[in-house]
Structure 1
């Protein structure tokens, strides 16, 4: 009898161990943005894990529904399904202007979550006012401040052909005030030059270059004074 009892107890112990191993979930290690080769791959994983409503790995640092925005492209801002192989799409964010830093950089507060973000106006470059004032720099800053006073409602629009952020972490966006493209308006007034980064033309480059040619021919802004 003691032998039978011992075997019974051993069988019960083995059964409990088996059930415990089956019932205990195995948790995958937390992911961070460095685990993904591209932003699109991170976005696909983020969506598969319940994003944008859930973000257990904290890949969406600013809560805008886009994971690992500083990762290299291919990029995706898809909000449903697996985004790993999804083509890049246009991202629109409503915001209010907080302040203008210089002619081509502003600080805006996102309407969705109240987060303040630095925005580099896409496709243009204005003369510098920091680290040495360049000809036309102060005038460009004044024009941008006039076009975008504090509290102005804007829409920040991404370009699928460009990165979502620059190397300084600023959002790369067209800044739309109603139907007015502020980036292009600065070019038309001669306050900004067209800027193509790394020989990778943005979608609106033809319209911007046409505006620049007209401003230069008319001697507007920096074309007439610098």
Structure 2
């Protein structure tokens, strides 16, 4: 009974964004995971006060930012008040962090997912934002994959950028990014939409920032039966 009461109190404190940490007896400590926190900021406040070594495993990629896939409000390490430490006027942060990466395509998984070797090191899976192409085994999956492979072939250079209105990663650990081919198309999600290989994708009821542009491309493809519209949909 005591354990459940302590857990409920602790979650209420982090849910309110309180950074004050109350020392509890060892028998009352409860392991946390990202699903226990209503926002990334709440998780970061807890992470900052939990002590060294990330005892709860909230920082999966060891970059000092806890639970990056949780919804915003968002803050970074060492910034428990949600303010920009570089701002001498102590003004509030104007928004969540935007991630930008550059790398080379290692593999095209399907029509909306790539494997990319980042210039900073390591291979990551990238789920393109705002679109949803057919899954493997479904009508048009091969064609959508082939189209993306033509636009972003293996070894081509791509630039990735996150959308501050969306999570940085999905539940599978894939980076959620807009993808631009260096020397090629500015937005591969839009090209898949324009050429008829995808439908609109909205997660959690919150469209991506470029949703209107993608819908425009999808509507155009549908009108002219481009891509999969005349065969699979």
Aligned to 1:199: 205
Aligned to 1:208: 214
Name the SS for the 2:71 alignment partner. coil
> Over residues 64-121 of structure 1, what are the superposed CA-to-partner deviations in whole Å (9 max), with x where a residue is unaligned?
5643223x21153657744746431322122221101111111112222x12211111
- Asked whether the 8 Å contact 2:75–2:82 carries over to 1, the reply is no
Name the SS for the 1:222 alignment partner. coil
CA distance in 1, matches of 2:75, 2:156: 25
Provide the aligned length of Structure 1 versus Structure 2: 190
Aligned to 1:139: 143
Aligned to 1:61: 60
Name the SS for the 1:74 alignment partner. coil
Aligned to 1:117: 124
Name structure 1 gaps, 5 residues minimum. Answer: 1-28, 50-54
Report deviation, 1:168: 2.0
Q: Structure 1 pair 92/140, CA: closer, same or farther in 2 (3 Å)?
A: same
CA distance in 2, matches of 1:110, 1:32: 30
Aligned to 1:73: 71
Root mean square deviation of aligned Cα: 3.0
Aligned to 1:170: 174
| 1:159 matches 2:139 | no
Q: Which protein shows a greater Rg? A: 1
Report which of the two has the higher share of helix. Answer: 1
Aligned positions of 1:13-162 closer than 5 A = 34=34, 36-43=37-44, 56-57=53-54, 59-63=58-62, 66-70=65-69, 72-76=70-74, 78=76, 81-82=79-80, 84=82, 86=93, 87-112=95-120, 114-129=121-136, 133-162=137-166
TM-score by length of 1: 0.71
